[in-house]
Amino acid sequence: MTIVLIKGARPYGEGDPVDVLVEDGVITDIGSIDTPDNAEVIEAGGQVLLPGFVDLHTHLREPGREDTETIATGSAAAALGGYTAVFAMANTDPVADNAVIVDHVWRRGQEAGLVDVHPVGAVTVGLKGEKLAELGTMAKSEAKVKVFSDDGLCVADPLLMRRALEYSTALGVVIAQHAEEPRLTVGAQAHEGEQAARLGYTGWPASAEESIVARDCLLAEHANARLHVCHVSTSGTADILKWAKERGTKVSAEVTPHHLLLTDERLSTYDPVNKVNPPLRTESDAVKLRSALAEGVIDCVATDHAPHAVQDKDCEWNSARPGMLGLQTALSIVIETMVRTGLLDWRGVARVMSERPAEIGNLTDHGRPIEVGEPANLALVDPETEWTVRGAEFASIAANTPYEGMRLPGVVTATLLRGRITAREGKITQ
Ligand code: DOR
Ligand code: ZN
Ligand code: ZN
């Protein structure tokens, strides 16, 4: 039997420190506990104990771009970031649009053994936006795909989106939309606004996101389907989500750490590390996204972890690929933007980083309360210690972090997956 005793932790940062006993993957006791023989002891010293984080939106690049990330390296980055489950986006090469690929991704994740890697299935064949992929076959495969998305691209055709939503209801899965009306973003390079105009970049207007979100909320409502909106980036989208939720539409939404913290002010450096899709917006958008997350209008945080090779980022702005790393910095950015500002307490962090994403992704064994009888998927967090971001030191193969050199608060000191310690003091433990 594997036994781990976490000594002196504060679940959800509340109350006096308690000991948490984990036996064979399950929390079996919480209180003042004598150390059993053979127990591996984690001295928590009053640190905050949270349910392991769940990332609904990760790009792991395998198969196809193993020069930038693999399922194993991305899993390591996730475990170090406090995650116990991630959803791997389908825009790989080949695309994860069939049972063979999704089952392959699922198995590779199990082999790596550091987090549960749930493959996202593509909505359309080859992400081409022309023909629906076999959602049912993927949902019933070994990987039991629970989330479908053409992320990277928008399912722009309203009829296809309608059909996808209708099928998703029958299958009990969720469609996650990358909301970007392609006709409004031809050649787009940056948020359409003062900064882009000054720098001479083609603009990516807020309306390209908002028009799709509004349309999809209506389509989802009529199909009685569940819609998930990826990486909400504008203030207007938050308003639409509020309106739709008040009407009873089954819509959920995520925001990325980078859209909570960074703005298009950064673009004046011309450094493509800041290029991302959807683009960094304005300060008032970021402020609105934070309050929408605090209020639950936006349900959760998802990283959109997007590793890219040096040659695809270290080039002129227009030819650089969009995307930034996120798994090993997400918690720190949430602490900086949401906890230090008083917008969320640790219960709130558990909600947006673990409980809601697990619910949205239909996971029953993650995002669970820290209670006796529950699976021991846990993250132990030292909330005060600051660290300096060094992309080269990340477990990811790529190093494209926009936070390079920044001092950030919050260190994940241990991650447990079903009672197994996967990361400890910044190192992978298997
Ligand atoms: O910035 C992004 N990068 N946005 C996306 O939608 C796709 C992603 C990627 O795959 O690199
Ligand atoms: Zn996207
Ligand atoms: Zn993405």
- Ligand 1 in reach of 61 Cβ (< 6 A): no
Give the DSSP H or E segment for 3: strand 3-11
pLDDT at res. 243? 98
Dmax (CA) for the chain in angstroms is: 66
In CATH, the architecture of 51-360 is: Alpha-Beta Barrel (3.20)
Output the average pLDDT for the chain. Answer: 98
Q: What percent of the chain has pLDDT over 90?
A: 100
Query: What is the value of pTM for the model shown?
Result: 0.98
- Per-residue pLDDT of 221-254, as tens digits, reads 999 999 999 999 999 999 999 999 999 999 999 9
- Per-residue pLDDT of 42-88, as tens digits, reads 999 999 999 999 999 999 999 999 999 999 999 999 999 999 999 99
Residue with CA at minimum distance from ligand 1 atom 6:
152
pLDDT at res. 1? 78
Q: Report residues near ion ligand 2: CB below 5 Å.
A: 151, 178
**CA proximity to 84, closest of 420, 382, 351, 427:** 420
> What are the respective helix, strand and coil percentages of the chain, to the nearest 5?
35, 25, 40
List b or e across 310-337, with b for residues whose CB sees 16 or more CB atoms inside 10 angstroms.
eebbeeebeebbbbbbbbbbbbbbbbbb
| Probe target for ligand 1 pocket from 275, 277, 400, with the most ligand atoms within 8 Å of CB | 277
What pairs with residue 22 in β-bridges?
4, 27
Domain 3-48+374-428 fold: Urease, subunit C; domain 1 (2.30.40)
- Per-residue pLDDT of 274-304, as tens digits, reads 999 999 999 999 999 999 999 999 999 999 9
- How many helices, marked H, and strands, marked E, lie in the chain? 13, 19
pLDDT at res. 423? 98
The span from the CA of 147 to the CA of 133, in Å, is 13
| Ligand sitting nearest the alpha carbon of 306 | 1
pLDDT at res. 184? 98
Query: Ligand 3 mean position to 92 CA, how many Å?
Result: 11
Query: Ligand 2 mean position to 229 CA, how many Å?
Result: 10
- Ligand 1 in reach of 323 Cβ (< 6 A): yes
Residue with CA at minimum distance from ligand 1 atom 5:
152
Query: Ligand 2 mean position to 185 CA, how many Å?
Result: 13
- Per-residue pLDDT of 3-45, as tens digits, reads 999 999 999 999 999 999 999 999 999 999 999 999 999 999 9
pLDDT at res. 406? 98
pLDDT at res. 208? 99
DSSP state, 338? I
Residue with CA at minimum distance from ligand 1 atom 3:
323
- Ligand 1 in reach of 325 Cβ (< 6 A): no
Q: Give domain limits for the chain.
A: 3-48+374-428, 51-360
- Ligand 1 in reach of 59 Cβ (< 6 A): yes
List b or e across 86-110, with b for residues whose CB sees 16 or more CB atoms inside 10 angstroms.
bbbbbbbeebbbbbebbbbbbebbe
- Ligand 1 in reach of 322 Cβ (< 6 A): yes
Ligand 1: atom nearest CA of 59 is 10
Query: With the CA atoms of 391, 367, 370 and 1 taken in that order, what torsion angle do they form, in degrees rounded to the nearest 10?
Result: -80
In this model, does residue 430 exceed pLDDT 90? no
Task: Report CA-CA distances (Å) from 364 to 121, 355, 420, 422.
Answer: 19, 10, 18, 20
In this model, does residue 390 exceed pLDDT 80? yes
* Catalytic positions, written as ranges: 304
Residue 345's CB is within 10 A of a number of other CB atoms, namely 14
Asked whether the beta carbons of 69 and 62 are under 8 A apart, the reply is yes
Residue with CA at minimum distance from ligand 1 atom 1:
323
Helix intervals (H) in 190-325: 194-199, 206-223, 235-247, 257-261, 283-295, 310-313
Ligand 1: atom nearest CA of 307 is 11
Model confidence band, residue 307 (pLDDT cutoffs 50, 70, 90): very high
Model confidence band, residue 95 (pLDDT cutoffs 50, 70, 90): very high
Contacts (Cβ under 8 Å, ≥6 apart) of 214:
240
